[in-house]
Structure formats: structure tokens, C-alpha cells
A = this chain, B = another copy of it.
Amino acid sequence: MVHGGGPTPVLNASLCATVLQARRYPAITAFYGARHGVAGILNKDLVSLSAQSDATLEAVSSTPGSAIGTSRYKMSDLDLDRILETFRGAGIRYFFCAGGNGSMDTALRIDSAARHAGYDLRVIGIPKTIDNDLAETDHSPGYPSAARFFAHAIRDIGADNRALPAPITVVEVIGRNAGWVAAATSLARHRPDDAPHLIYFPEQVLTRAKLLADVEAIYRRLGRAVVVVCEGQRDETGSFFGGAELNTDADARDKLPGNLAHVVARTIWSGLAVRARGEKPGLLGRSFALTVSTVDREEAARCGAAAVEAAVQGHSGMMCAIRRMQESPYRSEILLTPLDKVARIERLFPSEWIHESGHDVQPAFLEYATPLVGRIDPHAALEEIPV
């Protein structure tokens, strides 16, 4: 098993379910995890997963992060040969890779190389991305929980904003190119004046003029506003909004701004002379354990188990995908989709689910997201009783 890309609150649920399912097949005599991605295979830095007790696996399955470690390492063709050599040497016949569209490309390359070399390897991808930008699946494990965190965050920051108007609070959510997580903050609304008041999508450019006009309109009506913006939001110059400064935690091509919410807040202040502050919950969105979605945890585990079944049945070059079978009560099934239909393909937030205002979702999105994210309870309010 290899993990690629950022962890999620349910990645370990997939991991542990995979190991527990493999345990049912005596022919699978050992199960290893590569520490920190494919580098763990290259360096023979492995974790024995089959030797873990059921109790340990069950306990680890509800923790955030990645119990074997993950990475953003880009695999070279030379690495590919060495990986196959290692597999051959150790008699490894199944390869499971949990990740997003980049990791599915890694899996696809390993699958192709094995076929080309005539080595019987079964490669199955397990979907994982809080960004929800994987193709061919209704949604990706990790997304519902990240969405649930940010919906709770906006609900509660909304209560704070109502109590002591900042008056403008800008909240930066995870999302480089896709607005799925930003969209989910709409689930925090119960009353007409509830936060979020403005949701922007990285699929659309946000001009300074639009931001200021939108904020001014809400501020005039409510005297306050909560604004949701993605870390990867770009403005009319094509650069990150307002020339936000880059983080230093990634390779050049993966860099994202480190202070976008702050830059948006200062833009509002300088443009409207209205007080504003920016918040950046950041990595909490992909790690907070208390806001895991029940559906998400369960589906993440089912994807792991389905990956083992697929490999045992002789499939390879496939990714487990989720198909929505029924809305109410929500029910899904796990099916297989070829890796080449998901590798390196980014599924953006559908434009038909963006409200024509450009700063909200359409009701169809709420229908899509609600069963995944679960209910976000409204906060009770005092009755309006004239004095």
C-alpha cells in the first residue's frame, strides 16, 4: 500500500479496511505499507501491516493523517524500474495506491510497466482527496469530512460575526483549482442572514471590483459579512488574488499563497474602509478528527475493502469509484473505473452549480452534498419578542 498526496481524516479508514479485508485471503501472506509514498518502496522503508492486530487496525482506522506516511514525490521512469525489481524480488503481486489524480497516474504507470515487463501485478487505486476533484466517482473519500469541517467552521464563525461583527470576516478554505470545499460551506446556512454570505470559486476569476461590490451590498444589508474564498483564488491578472505571497512548503509548481485571506481582508478595508480580518484554518480542514462525516468514514473503508476484492478477482489498472444509488436514505455502491480515465484529470466544480451571481451555489449542489456531509445543526436563537 502506498499513500500519495495530502492526508485526509479518513485515509487511515481506507488503509485499515484494506488490510482487514486482505486478511480474509490466506493466499495473501504479507501486506506491507511503504513509508511516505513510493520512496518507501525505493528505500525499502516498509511497515508490516499484516502483522498488526485487528484491535490496532480498528483503533488506527479512526485517526486522521496517514499511519504509513504519504508524500508528494514525483516518480521518475528510473524509479519505475526499481519498483518493479523490488516487487519481483519480494514476490509482491498486489499494489494498492490511495490518492488523488496524481497518485492514480503513479498507479497507472506502475500497472503499464508491469504489463510491459510481463510481470503479473494487480494494481488497484483507492480514491482519496479532500478536493473532490477526481473524475469518474460521485465524490472522493476525504471530501465529505473536509466539507463537514468547513461547514461547521463557517456556522460557528458566523455566530461570532453576528455577535461582534468584525464586521467582515474572510475565511480561506482548502482548494487550489476546484471549489468543492468552498461550496460545502453553504450547508452552514439555516436562517436567511446566516453565514456564509459570499462564496467564491477558483473556477472563476475574482476581480477586486466584484469583491468590493459584493461585500458592500451584504454589508449595507446586514452590517457584517462572512466571505469564503479558496486558497488558490486568482484575480483578473491571472495571479493569486491581490498578489498574495506564496507558501514555502511545496515545490515551485505546487506553490499556493500563504496569506490569501489576509490579502482579501486588506483589499476590503482599503477599498471600502470597512474593517475586515482573515482566517486560515488551513490543514485543520484535512485533519480535524471531530468533524469526520459518518458516510465518509464508511465509504473510505468500503473502497479499501473493494480494492482487495478487485485484486483478488484479477482486476488491475482500475480505481474504486463511488456510485450514488439512492438519495433518501442515501446509499452508494463501489465500482471499478479504469485508471486512465482518472489519472491526471481534474474534475472542477460544475459551472451549472455556481449561482449566476458568481458568489453562491445552486440548490442542486445542496442536494448533492447534504447526504455526504451530514446534517449541520442550526444554532438556536432567542425569540424576537418586542420589549
Contact = CB atoms under 8 A, between A and B. Distances in A.
Given A160-B283, A265-B258, A276 B290 contact: no
Contacts of A275: 248-250
Contacts of A60: 380-382
Interface in A155-205: 155-157, 159-164, 166-169
Interface in A340-387: 379-383, 385-387
A259 interface: yes
A63 B164 contact: no
A50 to B, nearest CB: 9
A380 to B, nearest CB: 3
Contacts of A78: none
B280 A279 contact: yes
B262 A56 contact: no
Interface in A270-315: 275-284, 286-291
Interface in A113-157: 152-153, 155-157
Nearest to A57: B382
A77 interface: no
Contacts of A48: 385-387
A385 to B, nearest CB: 4
A164 B248 contact: no
Number of this chain's copies in the complex: 2
A12 to B, nearest CB: 9
Contact of A282 (B3, B155, B279): B279
Interface stretch (A66-74, A212-220, A320-328): A66-74
Contacts of A317: none
A75 interface: no
Contact of A160 (B72, B286, B290, B291): B286
A172 B5 CA distance: 24
A284 B65 contact: no
A242 interface: no
Contact of A159 (B63, B152, B167, B290): B63
A43 interface: no
A284 B156 contact: yes
A360 B70 CA distance: 29
A59 interface: yes
B46 A387 contact: yes
Contacts of A156: 9, 64-65, 284, 287-289
A239 interface: no
Contacts of A247: 265, 277-278
B284 A64 contact: no
Q: Max chain B CB contacts within 10 Å: which of A49, A68, A387?
A: A387
A266 interface: yes
5 contacts: A66-B164, A68-B382, A247-B265, A259-B259, A279-B282
Given A53-B383, A248-B276, 6 more contacts: A9-B156, A32-B387, A60-B381, A156-B288, A249-B277, A279-B283
Interface of A: 3, 5-7, 9, 11, 32, 36, 46-49, 51-53, 56, 59-60, 62-72, 152-153, 155-157, 159-164, 166-169, 245, 247-250, 258-259, 261-262, 265-266, 269, 275-284, 286-291, 379-383, 385-387
